[in-house]
Amino acid sequence: MNEHPATLLRCVVERITYQNPENGYSVLKVKVKGYNDLVTLVGNLLEVPVGSVLLCRGEWKVDKRYGSQFVAATWEETMPATVYGIEKYLGSGLVKGIGPRFARAIVQRFGTETIDIIETEIERLYEVPNIGRKRVAKIRESWEKQKDIKNVMLFLQGYGVSTAYAAKIYREYGKESIDKVRENPYRLADDIWGIGFKTADGIAAKMGYEKEDPRRCRSGILYTLGQLSDEGHVYAGEEQLVKTAGQLLEAGETAIRDTLAGMLQAEDLILDKDAIYLPPFYHAECGTSRRLRDLAESTGRSLFDGLFDPSSLTAETGIEYDEVQLAAIRQAVTSKVMVLTGGPGTGKTTTTQGIIAALKKAGLRVLLAAPTGRAAKRMSEATGMEAKTIHRLLEYNPQDGYKRNDENPLEGDALIVDECSMIDILLMNNLLKAVPVGMRLVFVGDIDQLPSVGAGNVFGDLIRSERVATVALKDIFRQAEQSAIVRSAPLVNEGRLPELQNTAASDFFFLPRRDSVRLVDTVVELCRTRLPEKMHIPAESIQVLTATRKGDTGTAALNRALQAALNPAGAGRREKRFGDLVFREGDRVMQTRNDYDVLWEREDGTAGAGIFNGDVGKILQIDPSGELISIAFDDRVATYTADMLAELDMAYAMTVHKAQGSEYRAVIFVSAPAAPGLMVRGVLYTAITRARELLILVGDDVSLGKMAANDRRTRRYSGLRWRLGNGGTA
């Protein structure tokens, strides 16, 4: 076959090699005039059957494994004109009620007029012997459905909607798709994942919608609040919301305020004083406050009515506790709710072990949980008990939500939750729903770490409200003082730069690199050769961290360089391009949003659903079609379809924010200028405290000094602290 660039291809579908029913992605073998062999056609071709005549626009590409392919960007179907084509089309299984035998009989009766007969005079099918009324009814229904699909696809393509999104829209709305999109294209942003405000706005603009159309303003306001929640805010001030939405929409203030008033009246949004909430966040904040106060104020027997004997606890755990730790243990068993906070080396883990031992000695059933799989695993290793993710503890599944709730509470007497700085307001509310009033609750975390990725500042609000008993561990234990990593963390909290003079016996090193190219080369060399060969730390145990995604030393650039060095193309590794990324077998990847629908399975056969923001996995296999990707997340193997790759990013390097709650054998932190909001003490502190055995700072000492000196904390709009302190629930 002579390969040449082309933009237009007319073909007949001869064979379907692969078809994804979710997004319509297909690999087809097609017959093209002038080509002796069948041509491979790939693209999002929803429910295209064998025998279809297609007019495709796209381009020729050469796949390393599969050779020459025509990649269709858009397509339209024309009906076959020959007797052979019509018979093959009808006999493909597309039209329910017509198999190969009846297709032959129908075409023998009507010839090239067959399609017109089915379209306009379907009653004439009774002229075909033995066809029967039920079969004709089935053919009529199926033919109408296919017409609906084709009409929807053509309509949506006319407004620039990709075939993959068109497939999602049809699955959601069916034959009503055209009417619903015409009525309000902005509903797509609410109903179809992946179609955000900006995509819907582009469709609406082509349909002639005005900038101040109430439907546009409503969608823009919701989008603005969603963006603010992504930045950590639970609510927005009215003036802030009007201003930010106005900038997005380029619409007048009056139109936005009028739309906002209507949304508040319809309870699409909730106004509390001058704070405007999306309903889920409002109810989560009020629910969290109410339940915490109910728990804290509930009465229960003291477990230390008798004399507390620290020596017996020491004998049981083998740990000598100082006075602050003993006070924490006393607090945990005399309070219904308490917080234990402290930095690395202050004995948080050993204190937690003491709390568990004391609770068990009193005959209480103790449950352990953490926000992420990695944090739960670390908790299990430290305590010798099973620790579950919060989602698993609450028996979450996408169909039913959280099985454990106020109607079906947790079974136990005490719950200890680690890495609580990572818990956002929505997750905390769902957790507390499942905690019975009689259960003791211990929150453990580090107040100096960055707040949760999701909305809220729950852990900080608990402590600062002064309504929850709190014990802060501050003294670093003698054993821990030997670690330069541990010694550095409190120095950063005091605004001082750690000692950057390298010594052979240290677990903390600084490599000055001002030039970005040399900096990236150094990071690659450390991961590829120096640490694996000289310090026997394999590449998979090294995590590169940086403050930002953007720029020459952001995660995007670092991941490209590290992927090329650690997992290069070739060597039999299949790969799949998605946007600017190439996903390859063996790659380290990270989930970037909570997806409660992703199915996974463990080796022991247990299965579940849900992969969450920040979960890190390894691509095990990409199937030959490129449409199914198997990814191992610790002990779970999940299967992704190609359109789900939008939820993934490379994880050789990640932002410090994404590394919260995780601990790595070795951390390389890239110190380079970034946006002012990222050059803060909390980012540097969190980066340092992610390292267990080795920390290497690579980059600019001036940037490090600026970060240590900058204690500015970006304010998050959260009402939880006020509600806890003032009893406000509404």
pLDDT confidence band for 107 (50 / 70 / 90): very high
Q: Two tokens at 274?
A: 């001058």
Lowest mean pLDDT among 50-54, 174-178, 471-475: 50-54
For residue 700, give the nearest of 668, 667, 673, 666 by alpha carbon: 673
**Residue that is written with structure tokens 């310090």 in the block:** 535
Task: Tell whether the model's pLDDT for residue 15 goes beyond 80.
Answer: yes
- pLDDT computed for residue 95 by the predictor: 75
Read off the pLDDT of each residue in 269-291 and give the average, rounded to a whole number. Answer: 94
Look over the chain and give the mean of its residue pLDDT values, rounded to a whole number: 86
Q: 324-374, pLDDT tens digit by residue?
A: 888 888 888 888 899 999 988 888 888 999 999 889 888 899 999 999 877
Pairing of strands 414-417, 8-19: unpaired
For residue 9, give the nearest of 78, 43, 42, 58 by alpha carbon: 58
578 bridge partner residues:
581
Lowest mean pLDDT among 87-96, 390-399, 410-419, 445-454: 87-96
Task: Tell whether the model's pLDDT for residue 293 goes beyond 70.
Answer: yes
Task: Tell whether the model's pLDDT for residue 302 goes beyond 60.
Answer: no
- pLDDT computed for residue 163 by the predictor: 63
Read off the pLDDT of each residue in 428-440 and give the average, rounded to a whole number. Answer: 93
Q: How far apart are CA 229 and CA 266, in angstroms?
A: 21
Q: How far apart are CA 333 and CA 173, in angstroms?
A: 54
- pLDDT computed for residue 97 by the predictor: 84
What do you get for the CA distance between the two ends of the chain, in Å? 72
User: Residues with Cβ < 8 Å from 197, sequence gap 6 or more?
Assistant: 186, 189, 219, 220, 222, 223
Triad 179, 180, 183: Cα angle to 5°: 85
Determine which helix (DSSP H) or strand (DSSP E) holds 582, and give its type and residue range: strand 581-584
Task: Tell whether the model's pLDDT for residue 532 goes beyond 90.
Answer: yes
Task: Tell whether the model's pLDDT for residue 307 goes beyond 50.
Answer: no
CA within 13 Å, CB half, 546: 30
The Cα-based distances of 528 to 398, 522, 564, 667, 693 in angstroms read: 40, 10, 11, 14, 18
- pLDDT computed for residue 152 by the predictor: 77
Q: In this structure, which long-range contacts are made by residues 257-263, counting pairs with CB atoms below 8 Å and at least 24 apart in sequence?
A: 258/214, 258/217, 259/214, 259/217, 259/218, 259/221, 260/221, 262/214, 262/218, 263/218, 263/221
Determine which helix (DSSP H) or strand (DSSP E) holds 332, and give its type and residue range: helix 323-334
Residues 436 and 413 sit within 8 Å (Cβ to Cβ): no
H-only helix segments in 537-659: 555-566
Q: How far apart are CA 493 and CA 280, in angstroms?
A: 35
Residues 409 and 436 sit within 8 Å (Cβ to Cβ): yes
- pLDDT computed for residue 22 by the predictor: 62
- pLDDT computed for residue 258 by the predictor: 95
Lowest mean pLDDT among 86-90, 349-353, 410-414, 584-588: 86-90
Read off the pLDDT of each residue in 686-714 and give the average, rounded to a whole number. Answer: 87
Q: How far apart are CA 149 and CA 146, in angstroms?
A: 5
- pLDDT computed for residue 728 by the predictor: 56
Residues 405 and 434 sit within 8 Å (Cβ to Cβ): yes
Triad 380, 383, 389: Cα angle to 5°: 30
Determine which helix (DSSP H) or strand (DSSP E) holds 191, and give its type and residue range: helix 187-191
For residue 527, give the nearest of 516, 514, 537 by alpha carbon: 537
pLDDT confidence band for 272 (50 / 70 / 90): very high
pLDDT confidence band for 425 (50 / 70 / 90): very high
E strands present in 147-207? none
Q: How far apart are CA 577 and CA 286, in angstroms?
A: 44
Task: Tell whether the model's pLDDT for residue 618 goes beyond 80.
Answer: yes
More confident residue, 196 or 588: 588
Task: Tell whether the model's pLDDT for residue 223 goes beyond 70.
Answer: yes
Residues 191 and 180 sit within 8 Å (Cβ to Cβ): no
Task: Tell whether the model's pLDDT for residue 303 goes beyond 70.
Answer: no
- pLDDT computed for residue 521 by the predictor: 95
Burial letters for 140-167: b for 16+ Cβ neighbours within 10 Å, e otherwise?
A: beebebeebbeebbebbeeeebbbbbbb
Helix axis angle for 555-566 and 516-525, nearest 10°, is 40
Read off the pLDDT of each residue in 498-514 and give the average, rounded to a whole number. Answer: 80
**Residue that is written with structure tokens 């120096």 in the block:** 530
DSSP 8-state code for residue 640? E
Read off the pLDDT of each residue in 56-74 and give the average, rounded to a whole number. Answer: 83
Share of the chain above pLDDT 70, in %: 94
User: Which stretch, 209-223, 477-491, 610-624, has highest mean pLDDT?
Assistant: 209-223
Q: 581-597, pLDDT tens digit by residue?
A: 899 999 999 998 777 77
Task: Name the 3-class secondary structure at 271.
Answer: strand
- pLDDT computed for residue 98 by the predictor: 85
The Cα-based distances of 619 to 26, 574, 649 in angstroms read: 22, 10, 12
- pLDDT computed for residue 124 by the predictor: 93
- pLDDT computed for residue 479 by the predictor: 57
CB neighbours of residue 127 within 10 Å? 11
Task: Tell whether the model's pLDDT for residue 1 goes beyond 60.
Answer: no
Task: Tell whether the model's pLDDT for residue 6 goes beyond 70.
Answer: no
**Residue that is written with structure tokens 């629930």 in the block:** 729
- C-alpha 190, offset from chain centre: 18
Determine which helix (DSSP H) or strand (DSSP E) holds 588, and give its type and residue range: strand 588-591
Task: Name the 3-class secondary structure at 502.
Answer: coil
Read off the pLDDT of each residue in 133-138 and give the average, rounded to a whole number. Answer: 89
Task: Tell whether the model's pLDDT for residue 306 goes beyond 70.
Answer: no
**Amino acid, res. 365:** R
